Amino acid sequence: MQTKHIDDFLEVQSSVQNHRYNSWNYCYDYFGQENIDKDIASLHLAFYLASWGMYRGSSFLLQRDYKFLTPVVEIILKYKELRDVEITKENQDFVKKLFVLVTEIRDYFFKQKFSDINKEQREASDTLITKIILGTLGITPAYDRYFVQGSSFKSFDENSMKEIIKFAVENEKIIKDYQQKFYLKFDILPPIMKIIDMYFWGFGKDFFDVRKIKNNKKTFRYILKEIYNEIEFNREYSEKEIFDRVNEKTAKYNVEFQKVTYTLQLHKHTVNATNRVHLGIKNPIDDTRNFFYFPNENNKKVVKKFSVNITDNPTIYFSVNGEKKSVKLYDIKRNSAIKPTVENYANKLWDDYYSRNF
């Protein structure tokens, strides 16, 4: 059992004080208490599910408030003894009880009416059911697309659960070690299935990250955007530091670029690089391309992270019908004639991104 993906998961979760991953911690911890307020439990469950993507896009949950989940909480509480179940090969009763619970939750959702969203009934997906159970009782991994891809368990059924239990038994020592590491970081002891979920989820995430970057025509931009999200404001980065990060990611994604591409792409995404005019930059505030700026325009070997909120005042170069244009960042902030255009353009970029990805 390789542990890199569990280590990566823990590092991400602990690197940000209020990371969305923590929603599982709070939800699972609350459902382990002796006296549970169903209203508070419903709120925990709803926020956890939202943090883990179950309220996005066309999800029927998006159209309901958190109290819609109170009957689900009531069902979960009938099976609370399953939180303490022993994960062994011989414990077949546990698996059978699990799927009785699954049926009850699925039946609840199926019986609800959704005429206001043009659906009379909605069948709950395996992803939703297993995320609910992972966040409350912790006796199954969450069968989302990352876990399914990483584990190769295509369907949530008794056979796949028995295989997962077998995996848990075979890797008991490593899993217990990571339960302890999790506890030391977050002061909550995770169930075995949470560690298994983190393990396979990481493999699946890697697969989709690689596929996304290979299918993306603007691969270098994707890599630079990842680097942009990782670096800090108000700190200078040498060209070498940026390129070293690019090399790490090209190795990770198994892609290659000619070295001349590195400089061209860095300048294309640096707002005060004059040659970006010839590289198709048509709007001064394009957050899909404006990643960096030269703090000293006479030194093209050092960049800083760009945002419209920085205190520096770099020139931003762009083109209109092939003609070179430039504007100072402060002028954009002050100019009421430009600002509405900038805001509208930013909104359009977000709408386009959201429609493509969700």
Q: How many CA atoms lie within 13 A of 53 on its CB side?
A: 11
Residues 43, 49, 50, 51: is their CA dihedral positive or negative? positive
Please state, in angstroms and as integers, the Cα–Cα distance from residue 103 to each residue in 54, 77, 89, following that order: 19, 15, 23
pLDDT score for 211: 66
Do residues 108 and 188 share a domain? yes
> Does the pLDDT at position 107 exceed 50?
yes
State the average pLDDT over residues 127-132. Answer: 96
- Taking the alpha carbons at both ends of the chain, their separation in whole angstroms is 33
In the chain, the number of structural domains is 2
Domain of 89 in residue numbering reads as 4-214
Give the residue-averaged pLDDT of 245-249. Answer: 91
Q: Is the pTM of this model over 0.85?
A: no
Mark which of 179, 198, 214 sits at the end of a domain: 214
242 burial via Cβ count (<10 Å: 0-12, 13-18, 19+): buried
Upper half-sphere CA count for residue 75 (Cβ side, 13 Å): 21
What tens digit of pLDDT does each residue of 158-211 get? Answer: 999 989 999 999 999 999 999 999 999 999 999 999 999 999 999 888 877 766
Summarize the chain as % helix, strand, coil (round to 5): 60, 5, 30
Whole-angstrom distance, CA of residue 236 vs CA of residue 312: 13
What is the enclosing helix (H) or strand (E) of 315?
strand 315-320
Which of residues 214, 234, 264 is at a domain's end? 214
* 196 and 247 co-located in one domain: no
Buried b (16+ CB within 10 A) or exposed e, 65-94: ebebbbbbbebbeebeebeebebeeeeeeb
Task: Say if residue 272 is in the same domain as residue 340.
Answer: yes
Mean pLDDT of 316-341: 75
| Whether residue 269 is found in the same domain as residue 127 | no
